[in-house]
Amino acid sequence: MSTIRMTMSQAIVRFLSQQYVERDGVERRFVNGVFGIFGHGNVTGLGQALEEIGSDLPYYRAQNEQAMVHTATAFAKLNNRLKILACTSSVGPGATNMITGAATATVNRLPVLLLPGDTFASRLPHPVLQQLEHPMHQDVSVNDALRPVCRFWDRIARPEQLLASLPEAMRILADPAEAGAVTLAMPEDVQTEAYDYPAHFFEKRVRHIPRPVPAEEVLREAVACLRGVSRPLIVAGGGAIYSEASAELAAFAAGFGIPVAETQAGKGVLPWNHPWNVGPVGSTGGLAANRLAAQADCVIALGTRLSDFTTASHTAFQHPEIRFIGINVGAMDAHKMGALPLVGDARATLAVLRGRLKADGYRAQPAYGDEVGRLKGLWDDEVNRQCTVASPSVLTQANLIGIVNDASGPRDVVVCAAGGMPGDLLKLWRPLDPKGYHVEYGYSCMGYEIAGGLGAKMADPSREVYVLVGDGSYLMLHTEIVTSILEGKKLIIVVVDNGGFQCIKGLQASCGSPAFGNELRYRSQATGRLDGDYAALDFAKNAESLGAKAYRATTAAELRQALGLAKQEPRTTVVHAWVDRDARVPGYESWWDVPVAEVTGRETVQSAQEQYQAARQRQRFYY
């Protein structure tokens, strides 16, 4: 057997550059680069290897480890999980900074490979700089904190261990049912140790991504179930987009007259104006989908995690005899809500189910189709109404969304993650392309926005990427603006300034409490609280100082003009836009379960608690 002598780090680099995936006959390079921040624990190991033999594996220098994991996550999301990036950190704080990013990836079922440095496997020089010593367990380091947020975790304590661990890591990363963050912790001494690796370990490896379909018996039961219902509804999630099921779903919906409601991750699977797309469902859903959901007697949950925002905390579906059919590549998701589990690829499963239903002569009733059309019309009018600019001097967040939407092209991408913006975007944004709507709302992680925008742009530079970010999220993590400029990956970032955490203030108010601790205000001498003047931050100046082009906008006209200029600009452009602090897009016949204090001296909290208990009566649990 021929062998190649190299260090563990060199072996990782060589191996990763030879990994490919194939789906539907299209082959793609799987690992498309490494993001990193060097320090002790990776610069002389993996860093040395990347410098010397990494020409096939581009290296990107990030500004923050959490951010670089978000970038990698967004890259995988835009690539439908068929292309990934790896992220490497130094020992200690660099590694723990990746935990939030890892959780974000895993919650969203998106693959990222994490390669944190680790303390010496030999233990001899311990304690080293940045080591947290566990008094009883010498085999525990801070990297163990990554375990619960990863789908696969291993520590490479000997160089030959890569032969077992790397293929397993690839298997998990490439499997749509398993995808999430994967960590290979790399003790700093082992990274530099040499081993005679078998040469065939570094040969090109193509992993085939199958499209599994459910067993015959379950398909038959699904057909029988649909035959007996009259108000079916499809709830389409991210899995429908990742499996590229748009055309199949459109044929399925139109062929049988079944409306399609969308989740945050599923929005865009059908264009907004497709006659069977009834818009968003759940806590931040719209009129049409929420009314249809309330009376649906069968819900086909397609590629969705069925999060509380989708089910309106288990109040969205009120039909006493409702049946769920779960189509999902992941068994855990397919079984949720007591569903008949159709474990399989979204597109392939829809296709076989369509064949069976057609043979069965299935068709929903025409009266139901009329009702769907009428409700969709109502909802489209409401979206228009919310986006219409009513004041020449003040913008609402809804107005801002409408204006950015109008400025964007049909293939462009909008990126968002946290604050009040995701809910409003879900209601109001009108995507025409399955990759046009990119909102991370599984972990809803502040800080994803700009870093994620960079990942989306890297995945497809031919699309303009619009990042909508609240003032709160911007202040938390905006420094990948620098990376976007250094890498020549242009973003159009709109910072939506409403004076602080306004969505949380709204939540607080809806649960009976006065404003407390959420706005960006000076502490007042009189009250001792943060209720003094609003801080007047200049995000345009901030962005300029990082190398971005920047504009300011308070009115609709200024925003349109700034976006027009931003489109001309070759580099990342930031528009600091002010919106009305209190104007909100309302909820549409829905609810979200957020507990309220059972004992309180405040009447407003007490009345919120009574309303909370009343609302909980509508919760339905299915097993």
- Which 399-418 residues touch ligand TPP, going by CB under 6 A? 418
DSSP state, residue 461? T
C-alpha to C-alpha distance for 512 and 378, rounded to whole angstroms: 32
Identity of the residue, 436 or 447, whose beta carbon is nearer to ligand TPP in the bound complex: 447
Q: Residue 496 — φ and ψ, nearest 5°?
A: -95, 105
Residue 420: contacted member of ligand TPP, Mg ion, none (CB under 5 to 8 Å, by partner type): ligand TPP
State the minimum distance, in angstroms, from the CB of residue 557 to ligand TPP.
23
Among 446, 495, 540, 585, the residue binding ligand TPP under the rule CB under 6 A is 446
Identity of the residue, 330 or 442, whose beta carbon is nearer to ligand TPP in the bound complex: 442
State the minimum distance, in angstroms, from the CB of residue 469 to ligand TPP.
7
Among 395, 503, 605, 608, the residue binding ligand TPP under the rule CB under 6 A is 503
Among 36, 116, 420, 512, the residue binding ligand TPP under the rule CB under 6 A is 420
C-alpha to C-alpha distance for 262 and 454, rounded to whole angstroms: 25
Residue 421 in contact with ligand TPP, rule: CB under 6 A: yes
Identity of the residue, 184 or 425, whose beta carbon is nearer to ligand TPP in the bound complex: 425
For ligand TPP, which stretch binds (CB under 6 A), given 371-379, 480-488, 493-501, 608-616?
A: 493-501
- Which 151-170 residues touch Mg ion, going by CB under 5 A? none
Question: Is residue 239 within 8 Å of 328, Cβ to Cβ?
Answer: yes
Residue 562 CB neighbour total at 10 angstroms:
25
Residue 473 in contact with ligand TPP, rule: CB under 6 A: yes
Residue 470 in contact with ligand TPP, rule: CB under 6 A: yes
Identity of the residue, 120 or 539, whose beta carbon is nearer to ligand TPP in the bound complex: 539
The radius of gyration of the chain from alpha carbons, rounded to an integer in Å, stands at 25
Question: Which H or E element spans position 21?
Answer: strand 19-23
Identity of the residue, 107 or 407, whose beta carbon is nearer to ligand TPP in the bound complex: 107
State the minimum distance, in angstroms, from the CB of residue 535 to ligand TPP.
12
Residue 284 in contact with ligand TPP, rule: CB under 6 A: no
Query: Which residue's CB comes closest to Mg ion?
Result: 470
State the minimum distance, in angstroms, from the CB of residue 100 to Mg ion.
20
Q: DSSP H helical segments within 388-459, as ranges?
A: 397-407, 421-428, 448-459
Among 444, 542, 573, 609, the residue binding ligand TPP under the rule CB under 6 A is 444
Residues with Cβ < 8 Å from 610, sequence gap 6 or more? Answer: none
Residues with Cβ < 8 Å from 192, sequence gap 6 or more? Answer: 7, 8, 9, 44, 45, 48
Return the closest-CA partner of residue 20 out of 86, 82, 113, 109: 82
For Mg ion, which stretch binds (CB under 5 A), given 306-314, 471-479, 578-586, 588-596?
A: 471-479
Residue 502 in contact with ligand TPP, rule: CB under 6 A: yes
Residue 285: contacted member of ligand TPP, Mg ion, none (CB under 5 to 8 Å, by partner type): none
Residue 278: contacted member of ligand TPP, Mg ion, none (CB under 5 to 8 Å, by partner type): none
C-alpha to C-alpha distance for 519 and 525, rounded to whole angstroms: 16
C-alpha to C-alpha distance for 48 and 146, rounded to whole angstroms: 25
Query: Which residue's CB comes closest to ligand TPP?
Result: 470
Residue 96 in contact with ligand TPP, rule: CB under 6 A: no
Residue 504: contacted member of Mg ion, ligand TPP, none (CB under 5 to 8 Å, by partner type): ligand TPP
Among 262, 345, 471, 480, the residue binding ligand TPP under the rule CB under 6 A is 471
Whether omega before 127 lies within 30 degrees of 0, making that bond cis, reads yes
- Which 401-460 residues touch Mg ion, going by CB under 5 A? none
Among 470, 480, 572, 590, the residue binding Mg ion under the rule CB under 5 A is 470
Which token pair is 457? 């742009």
Task: Write the interaction track for Mg ion spanning residues 494-513; mark x where CB under 5 A is met and - where it is not.
Answer: ----x---x-----------
Return the closest-CA partner of residue 300 out of 328, 336, 277, 324: 324
- Which 306-325 residues touch Mg ion, going by CB under 5 A? none
C-alpha to C-alpha distance for 30 and 79, rounded to whole angstroms: 10
For ligand TPP, which stretch binds (CB under 6 A), given 208-216, 221-229, 369-377, 465-473?
A: 465-473
State the minimum distance, in angstroms, from the CB of residue 502 to Mg ion.
5
State the minimum distance, in angstroms, from the CB of residue 504 to ligand TPP.
5
Pairing of strands 3-7, 19-23: unpaired
Q: Is the dihedral of CA 237, 283, 378, 301 positive or negative?
A: positive
Which token pair is 375? 């409700």
Identity of the residue, 418 or 451, whose beta carbon is nearer to ligand TPP in the bound complex: 418
For 327, how many CA atoms within 13 A lie in the half-sphere containing its CB?
A: 31
C-alpha to C-alpha distance for 74 and 81, rounded to whole angstroms: 10
Residues with Cβ < 8 Å from 17, sequence gap 6 or more? Answer: 31, 54, 56, 57
C-alpha to C-alpha distance for 150 and 148, rounded to whole angstroms: 6
Residues with Cβ < 8 Å from 612, sequence gap 6 or more? Answer: 511, 594, 595, 596
Q: What are the residues binding Mg ion (CB under 5 A)?
A: 470-472, 498, 502
Judged by the rule CB under 6 A, the positions of this chain that interact with ligand TPP are 418-421, 444-447, 470-473, 498, 500-504
